[in-house]
């Protein structure tokens, strides 16, 4: 149980999602309309559950990161819950980064209206091949120093939420400016979407629909912005990206685990009422195995999410590494949970009679978003190999040594 008052907030969130949000859900596979979203957000504010992650001074509930999981999971029990509570990607990740990095003027101009739900935002990092995708270091977009500001040329793609967004946090590569002490690297810019030189291109129609604003191409063509458009310090964008991406990976885990728990409840209800071959479905061994496997996936996902959230709060670098492990585990586990629920519900599971098929569409891209699982596994393996090499170099014996007769000498000095 969470410490008070966060446990009280979790319970309020649970009640609000079940009694207010779920009855207002759109038909499975469709997007929440703007007017309904605004009405539900107003109700969330009155209920005291709005923006749980955001500081109180900006309209949120002020929950520390280590206590986000249980509350975000409750919000995610409805596919529209995070949007209604204003803790949905990409806005939630942008709010977190702005709180930590932005100047006071930038917070007033960009964070306050975003935290209030008055505007939406987007995050511009992903590019067409061979640009930045799973590898941010492949960044191709550039910003050139000009008098009083920067000139940006960038082609971004898969920019979630860009349609209708008020502004974009853009990452572009910048060269060193020795006279001003700026190192070479990447720089983040706050750019209004109606700024000259900004253009939304073709949409990218993905299978998920929960994020308002689609995933279109966005172009920044000879786009000149002033110095106060820089978020943080020039040349430090890659470090700032980790500030955002570590928690953002984890909050995806939280939200989609809430949806997986909803899918498991649907499967449990079906198993408790459907008779097959003279028995209730829940009494059949194969169904029991599937339900048990989903319970295991839920419990292990909750455990790694909780551990990672604490680590991100106390040791952000180690937490960012652990968030990659959490992302891989949870995205796989959540997919399995929803797939089993579909299987247990039979034909109804793949129709819009139940929302499970739409849930599967929502969570499937998570194995690709925020860095593909394969990219994370590559990084996880490299970190493990490096750790073990350091241990052996420090004097710990190797564990794969055999003598000339082929006998295992594991554990022998």
Mean model confidence pLDDT for the chain: 94
pLDDT class of 404 with cuts at 50, 70, 90: low
Biggest CA–CA distance in the chain, Å, is: 82
Q: DSSP readout, 137-155? A: GG---EEEEETTEEEEEEE
pLDDT class of 223 with cuts at 50, 70, 90: very high
Q: What is the pLDDT of residues 38-69, one digit of tens each?
A: 999 999 999 999 999 999 999 999 999 999 99
Question: Is beta strand 218-226 parallel, antiparallel or unpaired with respect to 149-156?
Answer: antiparallel
At 29 the pLDDT is 79
Residue 349 scores a pLDDT above 60: yes
Q: DSSP readout, 299-351? A: HHHHHHHHHHHHHHHH-HHHHHHHHHHHHHHHHHHHHHHHHHHHHHTGGGGGS
pLDDT class of 5 with cuts at 50, 70, 90: very high
Q: Is 328 left (phi over 0), alpha (psi -120 to 50) or beta?
A: alpha
At 276 the pLDDT is 80
Peptide linkage before 90 cis (omega within 30 of 0): yes
Domains along the sequence of the chain with CATH? 6-88 (1.10.540.10), 121-234 (2.40.110.10), 239-393 (1.20.140.10)
* Stretch 351-372: mean pLDDT: 95
pLDDT class of 413 with cuts at 50, 70, 90: very low
Alpha-carbon span 357 to 355, nearest angstrom: 6
For residue 283, the 8-state DSSP code is G
The answer to which of 38-52, 329-343, 373-387, 395-409 has the lowest mean pLDDT is 395-409
pTM of the model: 0.94
Q: Bridge partners of 187?
A: 172
Angle, nearest 10°, between helix axes 285-314 and 68-75? 130
């Amino acid at each position: 149980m969470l410490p008070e008052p966060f446990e009280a907030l979790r319970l309020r969130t649970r009640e609000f999602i079940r009694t207010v949000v779920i009855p207002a859900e759109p038909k499975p596979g469709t997007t929440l309309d703007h007017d309904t979203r605004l009405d539900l957000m107003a109700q969330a504010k009155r209920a005291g559950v709005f923006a749980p992650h955001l500081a109180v001074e900006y309209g949120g509930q002020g929950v520390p990161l280590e206590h986000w999981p249980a509350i975000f999971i409750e919000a995610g029990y409805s596919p529209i819950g995070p949007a209604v509570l204003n803790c949905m990607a990409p806005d939630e990740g942008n709010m977190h980064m702005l709180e930590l990095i932005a100047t006071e003027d930038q917070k007033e101009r960009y964070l306050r209206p975003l935290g209030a739900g008055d505007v939406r935002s987007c995050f511009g990092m992903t590019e067409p091949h061979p640009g930045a995708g799973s590898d941010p270091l492949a960044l191709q977009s550039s910003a050139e120093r000009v008098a009083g500001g920067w000139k940006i040329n960038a082609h971004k793609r898969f920019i979630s939420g860009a349609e209708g967004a008020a502004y974009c946090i853009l990452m572009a590569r910048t060269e060193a400016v020795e006279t001003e002490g700026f190192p070479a690297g990447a720089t983040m810019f706050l750019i209004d979407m109606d700024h000259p030189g900004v253009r939304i291109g073709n949409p990218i129609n993905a299978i998920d629909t929960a994020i308002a604003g689609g995933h279109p191409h966005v172009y920044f063509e000879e786009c000149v912005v002033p110095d106060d458009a820089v978020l943080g310090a020039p040349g430090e964008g890659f470090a700032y990206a980790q500030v955002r991406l570590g928690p953002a990976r984890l909050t995806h885990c939280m939200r989609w685990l809430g949806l997986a728990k909803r899918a498991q409840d649907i499967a449990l209800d079906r198993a408790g009422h459907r008779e097959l071959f003279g028995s209730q479905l829940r009494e059949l061994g194969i169904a029991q195995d599937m339900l048990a496997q989903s319970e295991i996936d839920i419990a292990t996902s909750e455990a790694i999410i909780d551990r990672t959230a604490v680590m991100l709060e106390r040791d952000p670098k180690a937490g960012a590494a652990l968030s990659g492990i959490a992302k891989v585990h949870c995205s796989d586990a959540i997919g399995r949970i929803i797939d089993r629920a579909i299987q247990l519900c039979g034909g109804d599971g793949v129709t819009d009679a139940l929302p499970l098929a739409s849930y599967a569409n929502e969570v499937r891209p998570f194995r690709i978003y925020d860095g593909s699982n394969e990219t994370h596994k590559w990084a996880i393996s490299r970190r493990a190999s490096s750790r073990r090499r350091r241990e052996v170099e420090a004097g710990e014996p190797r564990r794969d040594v055999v003598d000339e007769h082929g006998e295992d000498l594991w554990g022998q000095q």
